[in-house]
């Protein structure tokens, strides 16, 4: 099996990211699989190379070792999405030639009005398929005015999958997904496109990530079906929140690994605290000194001395200061 951690370098890595990296890593180690790191830096406005490098420094400092990824390479690189545009472009061109995608010229105002004003008795559309039916002449004409976005032609069917932590999931594509954008008019590739093409190309078989991404899975599974690939195992883990109920990522500043390190925390202490807060190791045998190394955690995971990661069932996990 192969699992991965796929952060977006848009800020400093924080406890919420480490939590996800940790679950993904331990799950891979428990199964004696391959662990891959991929930098999801397609959003050129928000991602920065230096932040990516720092993120990798932080991961290394915490003790993570990856079998494939940035800095070490591997058979499926490059591992920075910003270096993979050719591949996304080629796939889109191929999909265009078989009619899986179409150009959309709708402006934001039109799309907002579809979603907010459904006809009486109808399920609201996220997108009404307006540009699916443009004539070739119309397309040519509109292209002279505006660079289109690209949408996937989504069939009306239901997607089901079993999530490791969230249970059985059912999504009706017609009402919950609709024809979605895979490339924006400004040239930016959509997360759903890049993540799916890369997970397939890199041979990923298990996806562990935050529960905030649960609703993107139906789109991604639809793309798997277009590629003729069978879907992978999914686990959308409960997110960490602080005592006031905020998602940790929203208050990055106070809990970045960089700041914790600079204020004297060791990596063993950070991991120990995280495990304690999240009941990741058996309570009674918990580390009296409150520290643990990643190597020890992997040992425990392999000997099942670790509270199974599968027993995390809460929606959210509160982290106290
Ligand atoms: N890059 C995404 C993020 O940092 C995660 C992608 C994924 O795990 O599917 O939110
Ligand atoms: Zn359109």
User: Quick one: which ligand is closest to 11's CA?
Assistant: 1
Among protein residues, the one whose CA lies closest to atom 7 of ligand 1:
6
Q: Are 279 and 314 in contact (CB under 8 A)?
A: no
191 alpha carbon to ligand 2 midpoint, in Å? 19
Ligand nearest to the CA of 236: 1
Residue 129 tokens, joined: 């398929």
Which ligand is the nearest neighbour of the Cα of 185?
A: 2
Give every CB contact of residue 39 below 8 A, 6+ residues apart in sequence: 6, 7, 8, 9, 52, 55, 70, 79, 80, 81, 82
In order of start, what are the domains of the chain with their CATH numbers? Answer: 2-82+238-318 (3.40.50.620), 84-193 (3.40.50.620)
CB of 194 closer than 6 A to ligand 1?
A: no
Measured from the Cα of 10, ligand 1's closest atom is: 4
Closest ligand 1 atom number to CA of residue 208: 8
Q: Which ligand is nearest to the CA of 127?
A: 2
236 lines ligand 1 (CB under 6 A): no
Q: What is the pLDDT of residue 47?
A: 94
In testing the pocket of ligand 1, which one of 191, 194, 215, 236 has its CB within 8 Å of the most ligand atoms?
A: 191
Cis peptide, bond prior to residue 138, ω within 30 of zero: no
Element (H, E) at 251: none
Model-level pTM? 0.92
The per-residue pLDDT for 282 is 67
Query: Which pair of structure tokens corresponds to residue 321?
Result: 């200061």
The pLDDT assigned to 227 comes to 96
Asked if residue 7 has its Cβ within 6 Å of ligand 1, the reply is yes
Would you call 277 helix, strand, or coil by DSSP?
helix
- Which pLDDT score is estimated for 254? 55
Q: Say if CB 46 and CB 7 are below 8 A apart.
A: no
CA distance 47 to 53: 11
> Ligand 2 centre and the CA of 301: distance in Å?
49
Ligand 1 centroid to 113 CA: how many Å?
29
Nearest-ligand number for the alpha carbon of 192: 1
Q: Does the C-beta of 91 come closer than 6 Å to ligand 1?
A: no
Q: Is 6 in the pocket of ligand 1 (CB under 6 A)?
A: yes
Query: Mind listing the pLDDT tens digit of every residue in the chain (321 residues)?
Result: 999 999 999 999 988 899 999 999 999 999 999 999 999 999 988 999 999 999 999 999 999 999 999 999 999 999 999 999 999 999 999 999 999 999 999 998 888 887 766 666 666 678 888 999 999 999 999 999 999 999 999 999 999 999 999 999 999 998 888 999 999 999 999 999 999 999 999 999 999 999 999 999 999 999 999 999 998 999 999 888 777 777 776 555 557 899 889 989 999 989 988 887 777 776 555 566 778 899 998 988 888 766 556 666 555 666 655
8 lines ligand 1 (CB under 6 A): yes
What distances in angstroms separate CA 167 from CA 113, 163, 271, one per listed residue? 34, 5, 27
Closest listed residue to residue 39, CA positions, set 17, 22, 23: 17
51 Cβ inside 6 Å of ligand 1: no
- The residue length of the chain stands at 321
pLDDT for the residue 285: 58
CA gap 124, 126 in Å, rounded: 7
Pocket test for ligand 1, best of 16, 59, 195, 205 (most atoms within 8 A of CB): 195
CB-neighbour burial class of residue 231 (10 A; exposed 0-12, middle 13-18, buried 19+) = middle
């Amino acid at each position: 099996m192969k699992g991965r951690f796929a952060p977006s370098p848009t800020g400093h890595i924080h406890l919420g990211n480490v939590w996800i990296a940790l679950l993904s890593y331990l799950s891979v180690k428990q199964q004696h699989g391959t662990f891959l790191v991929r930098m999801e830096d397609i959003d050129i406005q928000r991602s920065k190379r230096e932040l990516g490098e720092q993120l990798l420094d932080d991961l290394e400092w915490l003790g993570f070792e990856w079998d494939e990824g940035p800095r070490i390479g591997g058979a499926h690189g490059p591992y920075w999405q910003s270096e993979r545009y050719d591949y996304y472009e080629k796939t889109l061109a191929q999909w265009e030639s078989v009619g899986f995608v179409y150009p959309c010229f709708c402006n934001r105002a039109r799309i907002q009005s579809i979603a907010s004003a459904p006809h009486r008795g109808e399920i609201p559309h996220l997108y009404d398929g307006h540009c699916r039916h443009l004539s070739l002449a119309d397309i040519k004409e509109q292209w002279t005015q505006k660079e289109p976005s690209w949408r996937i032609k989504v069939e009306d069917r239901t997607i089901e999958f079993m999530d490791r932590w969230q249970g059985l999931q059912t999504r009706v594509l017609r009402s919950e997904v609709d024809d979605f954008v895979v490339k924006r008019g400004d040239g930016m590739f959509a997360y759903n496109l890049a993540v799916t093409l890369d997970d397939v190309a890199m041979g990923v078989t298990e996806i562990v990530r935050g529960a905030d991404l649960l609703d993107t899975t139906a789109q991604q599974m639809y793309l798997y079906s277009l590629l003729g690939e069978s879907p992978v195992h999914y686990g959308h883990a409960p997110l960490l929140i602080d005592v006031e109920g905020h998602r940790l990522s929203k208050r990055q500043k106070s809990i970045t690994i960089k700041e914790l390190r600079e204020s004297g925390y060791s990596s063993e202490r950070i991991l120990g605290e995280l495990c304690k807060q999240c009941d990741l190791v058996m309570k009674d045998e918990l580390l009296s000194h409150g520290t643990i190394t990643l190597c020890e955690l992997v040992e425990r995971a392999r000997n099942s001395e670790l509270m199974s990661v599968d027993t995390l069932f809460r929606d959210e996990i509160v982290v106290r200061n």
